[in-house]
């Protein structure tokens, strides 16, 4: 999306009822406090704080290089911020491994897909169940006793996700043969297979055509609505962000310059300036 289009959406769209209106949120499930992250001399994030409430759809936006992915990577345990804390369901951490974060109930999708291209849709989504597989590797390999029953249960769960995402026709298709929009949907399915309480989506609509974006929006809203999953998403498409988010955090040069409902954020002169002043 070009500069004027982004800025135009932020500044000129007629204020509408926020999608947050009438929606019920729970307590704070994720609390990011005073996070700072540097790579050598590059300050990727400076003193970032924001919270996410249960059942909310929370967007993180900002021009290229603003620090969005770095922030998601801190929440996810991929990056370890030099300062600040992240509290997830009352448990605080700064240096947590990705696997531990995942075990606590946080799943994510990736900007650049992290799927096994040669494996089927079903097997890719099944990899999302790994954290939940209890039986040992030998029993799994031999598919005997409790391992067989457990695998059946996981397969049933994965089939439900496949139905939910309307990708039944591609169950056995190697992921690499699918159009990009469907690959993104499989990536969402893999994250959903973890039964997350918080789903982090890194540019879920990137590279999609209009129809694919509409489908993905619907799935994100349905996941949030039907499973009550809290969603934190990075997205460049301002129309999408303003349509589906309850609250929006705005970053620029690693600092937070806005935080509020879509209406509040798009009325902010600082946010408008950040978008007009960039080639993104
Ligand atoms: N692993 C890294 N090593 C060094 N610098 C990094 C690393 N990751 C990010 N940065 C720097 O941190 C800053 C923020 O980058 P980040 O990727 O988080 O921004 P972004 O908002 O996600 O950008 P984009 O919209 O282009 O994906 C940039 O200056 C980037 O060059």
Q: 96 and 9, same structural domain?
A: yes
Helices (H), 49-199: 68-75, 98-104, 121-127, 137-142, 145-164, 180-192
Q: 202 and 132, same structural domain?
A: no
Q: 280 and 214, same structural domain?
A: yes
Q: 154 and 80, same structural domain?
A: no
> Of 11-20, 131-140, 238-247, where does the model show the most confidence?
238-247
Has residue 16 got a pLDDT over 50? no
Does residue 111 form part of some domain? no
Q: 153 and 202, same structural domain?
A: no
Q: What is the DSSP letter of 14?
A: P
Does residue 274 form part of some domain? yes
Strand pairing partners for 257?
Answer: none
pLDDT band at 152 (very low <50, low <70, confident <90, very high): confident
CA of 97 to the centre of ligand 1 (A): 20
CA of 69 to the centre of ligand 1 (A): 7
CA of 74 to the centre of ligand 1 (A): 12
Q: 88 and 68, same structural domain?
A: yes
Last residue of a domain, one of 168, 195, 222: 195
CA of 64 to the centre of ligand 1 (A): 8
Does residue 110 form part of some domain? no
Last residue of a domain, one of 195, 212, 233: 195
Radius of gyration for the chain, computed over Cα atoms and rounded to the nearest angstrom: 19
Q: 239 and 178, same structural domain?
A: no
Strand pairing partners for 200?
Answer: 108, 232
Residue 155, CA distances (Å) to 33, 115, 150, 240 in order: 39, 18, 9, 33
- In this structure, the strands spanning 106-108 and 198-202 are parallel
Q: 3 and 94, same structural domain?
A: yes
Q: 125 and 96, same structural domain?
A: no
Atom of ligand 1 nearest to the CA of 62: 21
Number of domains within the chain? 2
CA pair distance 241, 260, nearest whole angstrom:
12
Report residues whose beta carbon is within 6 angstroms of any ligand 1 atom.
39, 42, 44, 62, 64-70
pLDDT tens digits, 33-71: 999 999 998 999 999 999 999 999 999 999 999 999 999
Mutation test of ligand 1: which of 6, 35, 36, 44 has the most ligand atoms closer than 8 Å to its C-beta? Answer: 44
Whether residue 265 contacts residue 256, with contact meaning beta carbons closer than 8 Å, is answered with no
Shortest-distance Cα residue to atom 10 of ligand 1: 44
Q: What is the pTM of this model?
A: 0.85
CA pair distance 102, 13, nearest whole angstrom:
37
- Within 10 Å of residue 104's Cβ, how many Cβ atoms? 16
Atom of ligand 1 nearest to the CA of 73: 18
Mutation test of ligand 1: which of 66, 72, 80, 256 has the most ligand atoms closer than 8 Å to its C-beta? Answer: 66
Q: 224 and 122, same structural domain?
A: no
**ipTM beyond cut 0.85:** yes
Does residue 161 form part of some domain? yes
Angle of CA points 192, 34, 78, to nearest 5°: 40
As a whole number, mean pLDDT of residues 152-177 equals 92
Q: 207 and 84, same structural domain?
A: yes
Helix, strand or coil for residue 233?
strand
Structural domain harbouring 139: 116-195
Does residue 139 form part of some domain? yes
Whether residue 19 contacts residue 245, with contact meaning beta carbons closer than 8 Å, is answered with yes
Atom of ligand 1 nearest to the CA of 66: 21
CA of 65 to the centre of ligand 1 (A): 5
């Amino acid at each position: 999306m070009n500069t004027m289009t982004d800025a135009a959406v932020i500044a000129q769209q007629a204020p509408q009822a926020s999608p947050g209106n009438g929606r019920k949120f729970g307590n704070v499930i994720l609390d990011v406090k005073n996070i700072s992250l540097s790579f050598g001399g590059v300050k990727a994030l400076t003193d970032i704080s924001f919270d996410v409430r249960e059942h909310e759809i929370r967007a993180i936006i900002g021009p290229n290089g603003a620090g969005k992915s770095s922030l998601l990577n801190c929440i996810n345990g991929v990056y370890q911020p030099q300062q600040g804390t992240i509290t997830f369901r009352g448990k605080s951490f700064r240096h947590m491994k990705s696997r531990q974060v995942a075990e606590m109930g946080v799943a994510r999708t990736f900007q650049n897909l992290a799927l096994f291209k040669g494996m089927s849709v079903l097997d890719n989504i099944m990899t999302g169940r790994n954290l939940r597989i209890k039986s040992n590797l030998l029993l799994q390999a031999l598919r005997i006793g409790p391992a067989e029953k457990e695998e059946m249960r996981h397969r049933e769960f994965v089939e439900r996700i496949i139905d939910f995402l309307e990708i039944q026709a591609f169950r056995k298709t190697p992921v690499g043969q699918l159009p990009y929009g469907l690959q993104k949907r499989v990536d969402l399915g893999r994250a959903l297979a973890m039964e997350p309480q918080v789903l982090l989506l890194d540019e879920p609509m990137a590279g999609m055509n209009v129809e694919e974006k509409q489908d993905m929006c619907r799935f994100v809203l349905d996941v949030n609505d039907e499973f009550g999953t809290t969603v934190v998403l990075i997205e460049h498409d301002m129309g999408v962000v303003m349509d589906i988010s309850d609250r929006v955090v705005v970053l620029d040069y690693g600092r937070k310059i806005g935080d509020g409902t879509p209406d509040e954020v798009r009325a902010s002169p600082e946010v408008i300036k950040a978008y007009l002043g960039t080639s993104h």
